[in-house]
Amino acid sequence: MEHYFTNNEDLESKIKEINYNILDKKFTFYTDLGVFSKDKVDYGTDLLLRTYLNNHNESFKVLDVGCGYGVIGLVIESITNSKVDMIDINKRSVHLSKMNIKKFGSNNNVFYSDAYSEVNDTYDIVITNPPIRVGNDKLLEILIDAKKHLNEKGELWYVIRKDQGGLTIMKKLESIYNIEIKEKKKGYIIFVAKNK
């Protein structure tokens, strides 16, 4: 079975546009077969964005990890005027994010990276709706190694559902971060992790 995080060059392409409204702003994104949540913005992504934007309107330096077609990075740039780097392992996602960056006239930068393999910078915010189906080791790598890319007062924002082990993962991360639950809805939990 093909997953949205695999790079299958033979996968048929059917690019289309989807709409998304947040904080009275309307966005339209290109999506395609083989990428996460291609028909509508995911509930967890939406809750993560709304919770983040309730807490932050500052113009930060932000890293969107596992950006998909770019919804998190592009909405944060548009609403807070932040400078956002976006990364994904899936080449089709990187391509769609490039198309959306162009469509938005955005200054964001998107590039291929397996977790942080191609990331050299540090950020005020690392934000992610992380890949769950890649397995616990890669998921933990993405969340733990974010620390190396956070400024001293930086924050890691992420969403994981309770039934996907959100609270168990929180316990595993508590030895390296101070973690706060910022929001809980419909089984989705929004976490913020800060340097100890």
Ligand X SMILES: C[S@@+](CC[C@H](N)C(=O)[O-])C[C@H]1O[C@@H](n2cnc3c(N)ncnc32)[C@H](O)[C@@H]1O
Binding residues for ligand X (CB under 6 A): 4-5, 36-37, 42, 45, 66-68, 71-72, 87-90, 93, 113-115, 129, 131, 134, 138
State the minimum distance, in angstroms, from the CB of residue 66 to ligand X: 2
Closest residue to ligand X, based on beta-carbon distance: 66
For 159, the 3-state DSSP assignment is strand
Nearer to ligand X, 89 or 169 (CB): 89
Q: Which residue type does 18 have?
A: I
- Rounded to whole angstroms, the Cα distance separating 124 from 155 reads 6
Nearer to ligand X, 118 or 180 (CB): 118
State the minimum distance, in angstroms, from the CB of residue 148 to ligand X: 15
- Rounded to whole angstroms, the Cα distance separating 194 from 134 reads 24
90 φ/ψ angles, rounded to the nearest 5 degrees: -90, 120
Nearer to ligand X, 134 or 140 (CB): 134
In Å, what is the CA distance from 176 to each residue of 88, 144, 156, 173, 186?
A: 24, 8, 12, 6, 28
- Rounded to whole angstroms, the Cα distance separating 164 from 149 reads 25
State the minimum distance, in angstroms, from the CB of residue 85 to ligand X: 12
Nearer to ligand X, 152 or 191 (CB): 191
State the minimum distance, in angstroms, from the CB of residue 196 to ligand X: 25
- Rounded to whole angstroms, the Cα distance separating 159 from 151 reads 21
Q: Which residue type does 107 have?
A: N
Nearer to ligand X, 68 or 154 (CB): 68
State the minimum distance, in angstroms, from the CB of residue 81 to ligand X: 20
